[in-house]
Amino acid sequence: MPAAYEIRAGGDVKNRKQSMADLKLRRLNELNSRLKEDLERPRIKVSEASMSLIHYCQNTKDFMVPSLWGQVDKREDPYAPQQPNPCCSVM
């Protein structure tokens, strides 16, 4: 009758545990370095960011909102359908 379980060498288990511990330590060190980078990232207050966004929206012409900026000349509108070139092509 064959044995249901095999006997393993004890040293292999110890090496695996050590490699798992090394892997966990490396992941924690990487997470720690990412958190340090996030901490060093420059920050601005929400009120400053919103005022900057409001200023940009009020001073930048948006062709997709004609109710605010008025009708745009077709030559200035980058979203207007392009007219085919009236020149003839040489074959």
CB 61 within 8 A of CB 78: no
**Model confidence over 4-49: pLDDT tens digits?**
666 655 557 678 888 889 999 999 999 999 999 999 999 999 999 9
CB 70 within 8 A of CB 64: no
- The CA distance from 16 to 14, in Å, is 5
- Does the reported pTM lie above 0.85? no
**Residues with Cβ within 8 Å of residue 62, at least 6 apart in sequence:** 68, 69
